[in-house]
Structure 1
């Protein structure tokens, strides 16, 4: 029997909200629908769903801004983002902000249902992407230290904010020092086996991490490129 979940859908299209609510409830899930970020904040203050379905193009605060805000607040709430825009950069940024998955409109409601089930099944098996590791300890590299238990990154004594996606990727890199990893393998390790390989997203997120930890992001020494393959994390910063 399929697990039943408490779902929250935020989209400014009333027809789509009604359609998806009916479809998902027909498959046994509880579904609440909202139209904007202010309604979402009031709802989350009272009750947390199992998963948030969040439209990118919301009036006022956008879905991307909401996603980033929730993830920076250490929210472990799974987020599936929807968008009518085909711009690749929106998809990249959504994943960088910590979204668990991304679905472009128009879509088949059956695919949405399958993605919801995959996200929650994956999280049940391996925990949420970017979750702290109580047994991870502190990893020191360059002038940085990463506390895997508290998800805190410090550089020269200054604490730097990390999104869930950034922490998840950096945690993978520090666990595999001096070992070249393909883009596909990095996506799998940081987002789960069922995550869709999206190489451009990984390249952009690596670039963001480099700006946080590298002495010279233009000439990276800690996260080095393995041309035609992927990346390798080198804690001592020596050329390979």
Structure 2
């Protein structure tokens, strides 16, 4: 069974690249730009990892991350925040994320972070 990755971003080009890259690495990938229904989408898809855009349109990503971590079904599912706008004075781990990745990121870096978190969860 393939590990499932749920990716939230409002940049369709980035979603396409991430989906293609992670699919090539033998992950089942679902991409969405729907921040308001992410938990409902996750209930159906049952991801092994979330990748969330920090500046996604709609809900704030820190609120989405907290919803994931407080949800009984997803509390132990790793979350990666991605953004081109990280600030050194913000503690992103306090939002509940397990890792961060700065845009633009290399595909090897993305695959490495995903692989490490999925492996650690197994």
Query: After TM superposition, is the score higher than 0.5?
Result: yes
Please tell me the root mean square deviation across aligned C-alpha atoms, in Å.
Answer: 1.7
- The structure that has the greater radius of gyration is 1
**What is the aligned partner in structure 2 of residue 24 from structure 1?**
22
Q: Which range moves more in the overlay, 73-82 or 94-103?
A: 73-82
Alpha-carbon distance, 1:72 to partner: 2.6
Q: Scaled by the length of structure 2, what TM-score is found? A: 0.88
* CA distance in 2 between partners of 1:51 and 1:80 (Å): 8
**What is the aligned partner in structure 1 of residue 6 from structure 2?**
8
**What is the aligned partner in structure 1 of residue 79 from structure 2?**
79
Q: How many residues align?
A: 120
Q: Scaled by the length of structure 1, what TM-score is found? A: 0.47
Assess if the C-alpha contact under 8 Å between 1:36 and 1:58 holds in 2.
no
Identify unmatched segments of 5+ residues in structure 1: 125-240
**What is the aligned partner in structure 2 of residue 37 from structure 1?**
35
| Cα deviation digits, residues 122-162 of structure 1 (max 9, x gap) | 223xxxxxxxxxxxxxxxxxxxxxxxxxxxxxxxxxxxxxx
Runs of 4+ in 1 over 2 A off after TM superposition: none
Identify unmatched segments of 5+ residues in structure 2: none
**What is the aligned partner in structure 2 of residue 115 from structure 1?**
113
SS of alignment partner, residue 7 of structure 1:
strand
Alpha-carbon distance, 1:19 to partner: 0.8
**What is the aligned partner in structure 2 of residue 69 from structure 1?**
67
* CA distance in 2 between partners of 1:65 and 1:89 (Å): 18
